[in-house]
A and B are shown apart, each in its own frame.
Chain A
Amino acid sequence: MRKYNVTRRRFLRDLGVSAAAVPFVVGLDSLYARAAVPLVPKRRLIVIYTANGMLYANWRIPQSAPEIDISTGKVLTDPNNLLTPLNENAARLLVLDRVSSVGARQTYQTAATAPDKINHPGGHQKGLGNLLTGQVLLGGVSTNEDAGLADGMSVDRKLATTIFSKTAWPTLEIGVQVDEDTTNRYVDKRISYDGPRMPRAPQNDPFQLFKNVFGNVMSSGSSGNNQRLDMDKSVLDAVTSDFTRLKTKLSSQDNALLDQHATSVRSLEQQLVQAPVVSCNNITAPSSTSTGSIDINNPVATHAWAMQRANFQEVARLQMSIMVQAIACGVTNLVTFMFANSETDMQFPWLNVLKGHHGMSHARDADLVKVDQYYAGQVNSLINTLKAIPDSGASGSVMDNSLIMYTSCLSDGASHHSDNMMFTLAGSNGGYFRQGKLIRYNNVFTADAVKDQNTIGTPDHSNSDLMVSIMNSFESAAGVPLSTTFGDPRFCTGPLPSIKA
């Protein structure tokens, strides 16, 4: 509950870090403004991920038309439609029908059938690795039951490195009970990638997430904070010098490994000393109100609490709250938010669904409607929250300058297919995207939704095409050249048509 203030001391240290990049010292205040406020556009991407595909029959709008105006919400009233919980925000939705995760197709599974004659194994597992990377999966090792990880960078990291590298948290990866056993189907548990076989882990523990994101902000302004920052500086300087000293003694392979580590140390140092871009007022930390008797200062205890099924809803609420605050404060502009993980077999006691999610998806179980409407309700709440927050330093609300992408790793969980994914977008990202529309990219529409879901239409647009459009929505705001392709170029035809406002 404190307002964050930049101390003069701290500014001088910041200056020490970044002085080389600043040619003229005009006045400390104006210089601080230049040094501390990254020149990044007020644009945001929030990816909300849910597991095991969705029921296409219940997700699509049952009208045969290439484009449907959904802005009034009149077509989102069917109690069995998965988007009905988003009805009140229909005017902010952009529903993209008949866009496929092409690189996750079965065609790209085995060397015998893959166009590149290379094995990219995986069934269910392929969807998540491909989703934001537009890449095939690299071969795994089956002693490890591992389908292999994705072969490239995800869209959030691409934006982080090209547009938002100066943000305190270029990206945040947040999880709600994402399985942490990486020895079993690692690829199922990661959505964000720094590069080939380099996934980023989501943080499942809200207490730890909060500490990471706001710990430095919250403790600032006091003498204690100066001590902490001074100690961090000494510690990380010593650590950095260790890395430097070792360089001449190691193989090139080890040096590559340690260089990556040292780069992360330096970026941590920058994050620790970098001031938040805007004031962070009234920050609410997770508290023992959520957890009851456990010791919230013990990370092992809070982690165990966060991973218990009975706490799923409360963990989700806390994680959403931390994400919203981080975005509103300008601490981050790019978030991947995972509700559990691909192939999760979790049950949903609070929905009175005591069947495993994964099994239900193979059965196209009718109770999946309850599950996916629960998640849609979470997205709706997020939209409402972001709508209510004025965007500091930009016009409109935070929601006006954001894009939420709500989707799963698969289309049809029953068949493991990734054709005709459910891409539900919300928010125009500063006026870039059309709103209140459903766009159907090819004209496949019959009474048999399951058959339609598993039919490839023409044109055959891909998730990679959508990633190009997302990249463009940021690039146009930042005034940098627009990307024309994303991920593996075999799966990309350029930005999606009909999508721009």
Chain B
Amino acid sequence: MRARSTWSVPSFVICLAVAGCNGSISDNGMSPGGPGIGSGGNGNPGNGGSGNPGNGGSGNPGTGGSGNPGTGGTVTLPGSALQSAPAYRLTNQEFTNSASDLLGVPVSVALEADAPSSGGFWIGGAASDGSVRAYHTAAIAIATQAVAAANLAKIAPCSTTAQNATCAGTFIDTFAPKAFRRPIDATERTALLNAFNTISGKYGFSAGMQTVIEAILQSPSFLYHLELEEQALGAGKQPVTGYSMASRLSYLLWATTPDDTLLQHAGAGMLSTKDQVSAEATRMLADARAKNGVRYFYEQWLKATDLPNSKTSPFDTKYTTTLQAAIKQSFDMQMDDALWADTGSVTALLTSRTAYVNQELAPIMGVTGVTGTGMQKVQVNQAQRAGILTHPAIMATFATENTSHPIKRGVFIWGKVMCQPLPDPPANVPPFVAPSPGQSLRQDFETLTKDPTGCQPCHARINPVGFLFESYDTIGQYRTTDDNSQPVNTAVTIVGTGDPMLDTATANAPQFLDRLGADDSAVGACMVTHLYRFAAKRAEADGDTNDITTLTNTLKSSNQSFKQVLLGLTQTEIFLNRLNVL
């Protein structure tokens, strides 16, 4: 759906002219960045570090300015992982899922793009004029559908003769608390009923109902996680329980609004203790909706299911919309296996030789004999492919519109899989050296990045990892001849990972991934760190180290059970509490 754009193409590359590239990029991200206590929105935020987490530790990114554009500073609590934060707005996915689940209609609306948190995950930041207008348009579309003749009876089960204010009142009494994720008060009820009466008097029952639904879908009580009960407890650290906890659980684990059971448990005081939260989370993780929550996480972590929507010649004819759909489905099924199946693990994520293909995807992944549009579980050529990182979803994403892209692929692996992110290219790129004709794509990049001081500090690390994936073209097909019609050479020596098992001569991507998977602690810790950023809605800080370490240990001790990590996440300080600043 989105045009991918990063900063290089096959013929040319940006050198990273920095003083060094071993995680000590001076003044460009490594200064720990004070927590920015009480700093205003205009202040210069602390600069998040491009933390080098080493072997599973967390980096040390500062947490200066808040991830919310235009909203004030962040307050931290000494000795605690808690940070104050403004109320979170629903992200677009959360909005869509919630509206759809609440009204029982499919929701297809255009909303303003989500903003990123400091941790790199989408976040509902401050609403702009555009966001507000998009909500208005979306609310009309959704509510119109909800009150259409075929649907109205589902949400307002009154006989046609009883379509009146009483029926509307009953609807408000059931629907508004679900949408607001808490009981409503008499004033709120009256306001909604007045809106109904004003419109239904002139334009009829369904118009009145539509008005109520539109108003609810644009209400701050629906759009924001306000945690009113906890805010009422006063300044400082306060436990999050009841309805607010129901929302936290639901949006973390299901990426949608709480179901009736969850709200009942909230009302019955069954979400008050750590153990109760754990029990509730256990129930929720057994529900199919949990897969949606996790999908929402890894879609953002790996950027892999939002595929480029087109490729150019000669790949455009193969890269059809049906192939794109198959790639997404196949990727999700493989992720499900690794994250949910009893045999699943981070190791499987990186090394599994099992894949899912249909007849269109099979030839792309080098599998023969598959017919039909349905997905079939198959074995891939184990010398050619391993795990999700050689999947077409990843390869097509980190590529140009018609060639592979070793730099994009290398930067992705370093940052997202090994948690050793590389800095942005600087403002003074050294003059590049034009490649000579007749070179391989790999040789082009080697030529372009050979400057020992301007480029090599970072590219010595990026390039070898990227070159391993030269076996896959722009749509993820295995190949032995590259985009320049030259033989593919994937043999490299990896440097700079800090792991002797990896910093060595490596023949190809499967060999690298087998080693990376065997050394599951670093990748597991990286995944856990990203999950923590997702849940915390910000980059990690010093105060989070203990919880991240605990979660990483949970992953190890539970035979790499992702479910146990999610459960552990609901037991962390940041999940169970909030820091109020009044």
Contacts and interface: CB of A to CB of B under 8 A. Distances in A.
A222 interface: no
Contact of A264 (B44, B128, B312): B128
A309 B5 contact: no
B11 interface: yes
A99 B533 CA distance: 42
B28 interface: yes
A178 B14 CA distance: 22
A267 B129 CA distance: 8
Given A177-B3, A251-B582, A343-B5, A231 B70 contact: no
B49 A142 contact: yes
A415 to B, nearest CB: 5
Interface stretch (B212-220, B243-251, B346-354): B212-220
B69 A345 contact: no
Contacts of A251: 231, 580-582
Contacts of B108: 298-301
Interface stretch (B117-125, B264-272, B372-380): B117-125
Interface stretch (B131-139, B387-395, B554-562): B131-139
Contacts of B231: 249-251, 254
Interface stretch (A20-28, A115-123, A491-499): A115-123
Interface string A132-159: 0000001111111111110100000000
Contacts of B401: 309, 345-347, 354, 356
B51 interface: yes
Given A143-B118, A230-B203, A238-B191, A303 B1 contact: yes
Interface in A184-225: 184-186, 188, 194-201, 203, 205, 208, 211-212, 215
Interface string A249-276: 1111110111011101101100000000
Given A138-B65, A139-B44, A181 B70 contact: no
B432 A145 contact: no
A111 interface: yes
From A184, A242, A341, A363, residue with most partner B Cβ within 10 Å: A242
Contact of B130 (A124, A147, A200): A200
Contacts of A265: 132, 218
B232 to A, nearest CB: 7
B427 interface: yes
A78 interface: no
A251 B210 CA distance: 32
Interface size class of B (residues with CB under 8 A): 35 or more
Contacts of A310: 310, 316
Given A173-B130, A181-B306, A235-B214, A121 B47 contact: yes
A359 interface: yes
B61 interface: yes
B35 interface: no
A470 B485 CA distance: 51
Contacts of A239: 215, 218-220
B116 A124 contact: no
Contacts of A142: 28-29, 47-50, 61, 421, 423-424
Nearest to B117: A144
Nearest to A413: B429
Nearest to B430: A415
B283 interface: no
Contacts of B118: 141, 143-144
A414 B33 CA distance: 31
Contact of A196 (B4, B26, B41, B306): B41
Contacts of B476: none
Interface string B1-14: 11111111111111
A314 interface: no
Nearest to B235: A251
B444 to A, nearest CB: 10
B226 interface: yes
B329 interface: no
Contacts of B5: 179, 188, 340-341, 343-346, 358
A124 B12 CA distance: 15
B363 interface: no
A244 to B, nearest CB: 10
Given A119-B27, A197-B41, A182 B116 contact: yes
Interface in A454-468: none
Given A112-B26, A415-B429, A363 B126 contact: no
Nearest to B448: A362
B128 A250 contact: no
A254 B226 contact: yes
A74 B360 CA distance: 56
Contacts of B306: 181
A268 B61 contact: no
A125 B425 CA distance: 9
22 contacts: A106-B426, A123-B429, A141-B120, A142-B421, A143-B120, A181-B303, A183-B116, A185-B6, A205-B110, A211-B137, A249-B228, A251-B581, A253-B71, A264-B132, A300-B108, A343-B7, A344-B5, A356-B8, A359-B13, A360-B11, A415-B429, A417-B427
Interface of A: 104-106, 109-112, 118-119, 121-126, 138-149, 151, 173, 177, 179-186, 188, 194-201, 203, 205, 208, 211-212, 215, 227, 230-232, 234-239, 241-243, 245-246, 249-254, 256-258, 260-262, 264-265, 267-268, 298-301, 303-304, 307-310, 340-341, 343-347, 349, 354-356, 358-360, 362-363, 365, 414-417
Interface of B: 1-14, 26-29, 31, 33, 41-42, 44-51, 59, 61-62, 64-65, 67-72, 84, 86-87, 108-110, 112-122, 126-133, 136-137, 139, 141, 187-188, 191-192, 194-195, 198-199, 202-203, 207, 210-211, 214-215, 218-221, 223-224, 226, 228, 231-232, 300, 303, 306, 309-310, 312-313, 316, 400-402, 415, 421, 423-429, 431-432, 434, 533, 539, 580-582
